[in-house]
Structure 1
């Protein structure tokens, strides 16, 4: 008896914990506050399906309660047989037609939105719109690269887009399967290694800001830390940013920063790049000082950068930079930090 009571107590405890945790989360990682066209479509579908499900559950529950009270066992009615309704054509017609109507109500917008979300005609070679903004997105372990092929601009971790227009994406995985997801302004799509998937993002005009994205395909020990940011800016600001990135000035000031640049050119350049110089094995650092996070997940400050350079494995297990652990002295780390925090396209 005691064991039964213990089981029910544990069940109640876990049920309450699940209910409590269901309300946890961050406002910037929710599909319930759409700020873009694609997210608005998906939110509408969720609301339609939720209303239908709640309506069905409510009706079934009311019928269930009615039947319980209407046909409950009463004293003196032991031999009374309720009216039998088998073969009632009217009832059978009602409970057949109603589900069909509900499915049609859900299916019509679902099919329509599916085709709209999959419409990438402006980025196709045969129907290319010259004004369409195209970005090649490549997912690596555990970071993201964003290339603007029409402008010969490459950046990492922060995807910059103009508000008020669709931005078309070519999605590909460089090593294993990942998944690209920006819940507040768009949907989710896998990044495969053997084919290119295509989708679009759209942030409403007037909804400038930082939108958070994540990898949603289990890809390794640091999968949960494979974040990126989408920075939506007005069209004019985006054009200025593109122009600055295409003509980036990577000169730095100060003896310490120049020493850091020398260290970078001797070792880091084998994996990283600044501007068009370097490799694409690791994130492009052209505008490192303008980013919002260190390694995609840490607050963007010198202390976190030094911690990352000192021991990246402890902060992001399994990342490809972990092999550099112990190679840099404290002086080297200070110099690199000074250098990297001068890599900005917003220099005045």
Structure 2
């Protein structure tokens, strides 16, 4: 006599068939979503972490990628246990299953394993944080970052002009401040504020640090060779009415061009003229000058 499709075997077959179709549809939907998002393979492998231009940024990317992989492994394991329990211990009859008060090995497992995961993540986080915050005794270049409402001044305190004053640049309503830095050299950014709390942020560095009045903050970074170019900079702390217009540009150039730029500034050239002298665009290319008259609300 043939098997009855309405029996328990038939029900199991239909149940697993539906589960298989659901998994297939879910997988296709996930793949379609990934394709429609426009993410490249590299972006997927970085789990959405943006590309940086410094070794510090690369260390942070490695930490992020490792944490994401650990989270995926834990997630797959937990979901696997859930589906295994659903399938293995699904209801087979009206008989009450054996009741177990506790399972000491399992309780030790789900107490010790999360603690171990947290300890490992904390360990690598501390290593990367120490690396990012590390400052050498003698950096190659020092830049003084002075924030004020609502613009920036950048000085090179170790480079003096003929009047024994540090050379630099300051933003105005006519000129966007351009911070010129070399690639392949250790740069120390020393931050001060003349009024309220600002925040020095170059997104390409994947790092920002608050500029606090009455306190000097600093950090160091090395821009990788081959990453020459213009990078937008912003204030990342709400500092007042024209906070959104408090922009600047960081121009990364080769060490040779940087030395030429410094010499041109020492000779009395403006920042834009010095940039033109080394073959760079003489004006900022990533943003526009801050002009309160253009941004102020007109009376109704």
Answer whether TM exceeds 0.5 for this pair: yes
Look up the SS of the partner of 2:147 in the other structure.
Answer: strand
Task: Answer with 95-104 or 160-169: which moved more.
Answer: 95-104
CA distance in 1, matches of 2:144, 2:248: 15
Question: In structure 1, which of residues 146, 152, 168 is the aligned counterpart of residue 154 of structure 2?
Answer: 146
C-alpha distance after superposition, 1:89-114 (max 9, x if no partner): 22122222222222232122211121
CA distance in 1, matches of 2:103, 2:74: 21
Instruction: Count the aligned residue pairs.
Output: 240
The residue aligned with 2:95 is 79
Residues 317 and 137 (structure 1), Cα distance of their counterparts in 2 relative to 1, 3 Å cut: farther
Question: In structure 1, which of residues 43, 46, 50 is the aligned counterpart of residue 68 of structure 2?
Answer: 50
The residue aligned with 2:25 is none
CA distance in 2, matches of 1:88, 1:62: 20
Contact 1:221-1:317 at 8 Å conserved across structures: no
1:160 aligns with 2:180: yes
Look up the SS of the partner of 1:62 in the other structure.
Answer: helix
Task: Answer with 161-170 or 65-74: which moved more.
Answer: 65-74
TM-score scaled by length of structure 1? 0.61
Look up the SS of the partner of 1:78 in the other structure.
Answer: coil
TM-score scaled by length of structure 2? 0.70
The residue aligned with 2:29 is none
Contact 1:186-1:200 at 8 Å conserved across structures: no
Look up the SS of the partner of 1:149 in the other structure.
Answer: strand
Deviation at 1:62, TM superposition (A): 2.2
The residue aligned with 2:119 is 104
1:315 aligns with 2:276: no
The residue aligned with 1:14 is none
CA distance in 2, matches of 1:111, 1:237: 36
Deviation at 1:65, TM superposition (A): 2.4
Structure 1, unaligned stretches of length 5 or more? 1-18, 123-128, 250-274, 276-283, 299-304, 319-348
Residues 219 and 82 (structure 1), Cα distance of their counterparts in 2 relative to 1, 3 Å cut: farther
Deviation at 1:175, TM superposition (A): 1.6
The residue aligned with 1:345 is none
C-alpha distance after superposition, 1:242-297 (max 9, x if no partner): 11011124xxxxxxxxxxxxxxxxxxxxxxxxx6xxxxxxxx8876982215xx73
CA distance in 2, matches of 1:313, 1:80: 76
The residue aligned with 1:66 is 84
Deviation at 1:31, TM superposition (A): 5.3
Residues 172 and 181 (structure 1), Cα distance of their counterparts in 2 relative to 1, 3 Å cut: same
Provide the aligned C-alpha RMSD in A. 3.1
Larger radius of gyration: 2
Report matched runs for 1:200-219 at 5 Å.
200-219=220-239
CA distance in 1, matches of 2:241, 2:200: 18
Contact 1:162-1:233 at 8 Å conserved across structures: yes
CA distance in 1, matches of 2:98, 2:242: 63
Contact 1:182-1:211 at 8 Å conserved across structures: yes
CA distance in 1, matches of 2:262, 2:275: 15
CA distance in 2, matches of 1:232, 1:31: 22
CA distance in 1, matches of 2:249, 2:275: 13
Structure 2, unaligned stretches of length 5 or more? 1-32, 160-165, 171-176, 277-281
C-alpha distance after superposition, 1:294-318 (max 9, x if no partner): xx733xxxxxx7xx7xxx3353449
Contact 1:155-1:285 at 8 Å conserved across structures: no
Look up the SS of the partner of 1:189 in the other structure.
Answer: strand
Look up the SS of the partner of 2:94 in the other structure.
Answer: coil
Report matched runs for 1:3-42 at 5 Å.
32-42=50-60
CA distance in 1, matches of 2:275, 2:213: 27
Deviation at 1:160, TM superposition (A): 1.0
The residue aligned with 1:291 is 283
Contact 1:155-1:287 at 8 Å conserved across structures: no
Deviation at 1:149, TM superposition (A): 0.4
